[in-house]
């Protein structure tokens, strides 16, 4: 059989989506973000304009949902948001993804304009393709913490509850928790979906994982979720793999501090900080725990935090660096009081970890 000639109907209605978007960007986005990007691409191809309120009405999202999705894509460099002098959104420029990697700054963009809900709406501009100036010409929008929990309104929660898959997700969560969800619990689940971009399957696994460990408090569940998000966990399989390593580290630290059982939400925050933010190895944390246990029987997490935060300031990277910090401190002490000598209990900076002072501060709160 000979080769076939392939052609298309000139009147065919279609929207072209970049393969780069499908291969590199779509997997990490939630449903709202994908729908809004596809809709904007369709409007661009048709030479039409739109507005935040129009997108909100079309997909039954709140305007806040729409803006969060637009800011998500801007942060991923998939689009650029344009503002006027009054900080009103006036336009959206879709990036040429083929000319960039996920961390690069694009040079050729497609532009689609949006009306915004304001007393003096910006004029509608026809959709065009053009060479644009550098990104620095766009007014800067303050960076937001990508893991900060928004203050969701009743309208936000109502919109989330109206989604087709949300009722089933709430039912599963109530089954695990063993009681009806409070509005605060529901907002936590909204946060997992909306801000952390967890799939329903991952949220299901998250709640089950925490409940299996005897933790049904959503503050604790949020702490675990943030830890997973910061570690790039996007699927239940990745979460299971991460949890195996995570559990071993957490419970080793708990044991080193003389604690049994699962950590509280606050204790988990400390452990996450030591492992993730400070990026300390297990042997460095174990040394801090040993010194803590020798020094006090209470407020051990706060005391260990004092030691580890000081080592972070002193740029401790490996266990041998700790001795250098101790030696410097001893020289400083001897310079002040030559008669004093080192012992096992003053080989760290006691001025920074003075437990009496620390306990007084804690009790005064």
Q: Which domain holds residue 31?
A: 19-134
Distances in Å between the Cα of 199 and the Cα atoms of 68, 153, 192, 195, 263 are 17, 22, 8, 11, 26
* Max CA pair span of the chain: 100
Whether 126 maps to a domain, the answer reads yes
Q: Check residue 232 and give left, alpha or beta (phi > 0: left; psi -120 to 50: alpha).
A: left
For 37-94, write each residue's pLDDT tens digit.
999 988 888 788 888 888 988 888 888 888 888 988 888 888 888 888 888 888 898 8
- Written as one string, the DSSP assignment of 27-42 is GGS-HHHHHHHHHHHH
- Which residue has tokens 């109206």? 162
For 210-223, write each residue's pLDDT tens digit.
998 888 999 999 99
Domain count, the chain: 1
State the pLDDT at residue 99.
57
Which tokens in the block code for residue 13?
A: 């209605």
For residue 185, how far is the Cα from the chain centroid?
A: 19
Those residues of the chain that have pLDDT short of 50 are: 1, 6-8, 101-142, 349-351
Whether 118 maps to a domain, the answer reads yes
Whether 85 maps to a domain, the answer reads yes
Element (H, E) at 80: strand 79-83
Whether 285 maps to a domain, the answer reads no
Overall pTM > 0.75: no
Which tokens in the block code for residue 42?
A: 């369709």
C-alpha 151/C-alpha 345 separation (Å) is 46
Which tokens in the block code for residue 272?
A: 């996450």
Whether 11 maps to a domain, the answer reads no
Whether 236 maps to a domain, the answer reads no
Whether 155 maps to a domain, the answer reads no
State the pLDDT at residue 107.
32
Query: Residue 101 is part of a domain; what is its CATH number?
Result: 1.10.10
State the pLDDT at residue 251.
83
- 37 with 21: CB under 8 angstroms? yes
Whether 340 maps to a domain, the answer reads no
């Amino acid at each position: 059989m000979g080769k076939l000639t392939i052609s298309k109907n000139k009147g065919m209605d279609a929207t072209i989506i970049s393969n780069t978007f499908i291969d590199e960007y779509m997997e990490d986005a939630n449903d709202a973000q994908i729908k809004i990007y596809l809709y904007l691409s369709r409007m661009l191809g048709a030479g039409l304009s739109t507005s935040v309120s129009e997108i909100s009405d079309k997909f039954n999202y709140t305007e806040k949902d729409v803006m969060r999705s637009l800011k998500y894509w801007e942060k991923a460099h998939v689009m650029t948001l344009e503002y006027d002098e009054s900080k009103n959104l006036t336009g959206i420029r879709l990036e040429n993804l083929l000319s960039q990697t996920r961390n690069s700054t694009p040079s050729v963009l497609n532009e689609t304009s949006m009306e915004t809900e304001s007393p003096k709406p910006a004029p509608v501009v026809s959709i065009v393709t053009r060479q644009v100036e550098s990104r620095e010409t766009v007014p800067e929008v303050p960076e937001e913490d990508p893991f900060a929990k928004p203050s969701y309104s009743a309208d936000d929660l109502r919109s989330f509850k109206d989604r087709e898959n949300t009722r089933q997700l709430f039912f599963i969560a109530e089954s695990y928790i063993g009681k009806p969800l409070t509005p605060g619990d529901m907002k936590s689940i909204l946060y997992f979906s909306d801000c952390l971009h967890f799939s329903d399957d991952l949220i299901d696994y998250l709640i089950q994982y925490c409940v299996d460990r005897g933790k049904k408090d959503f503050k604790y569940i949020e702490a675990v979720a943030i830890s997973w998000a910061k570690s790039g966990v996007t699927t239940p399989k990745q979460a299971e793999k991460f949890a195996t390593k995570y559990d071993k580290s957490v419970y080793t630290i708990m044991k080193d501090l003389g604690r049994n059982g699962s950590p509280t939400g606050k204790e988990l925050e400390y452990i996450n900080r030591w492992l993730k933010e400070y990026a300390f190895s297990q042997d460095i944390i174990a040394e801090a725990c040993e010194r803590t246990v020798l020094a006090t029987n209470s407020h051990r997490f706060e005391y260990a935090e004092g030691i580890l935060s000081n080592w972070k300031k002193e740029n401790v990277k490996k266990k041998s660096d700790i001795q250098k910090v101790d030696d410097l401190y001893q020289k400083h002490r001897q310079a002040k009081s030559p008669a004093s000598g080192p012992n096992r209990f003053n080989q760290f900076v006691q001025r920074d970890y003075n437990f009496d002072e620390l306990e007084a501060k804690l009790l005064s709160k």
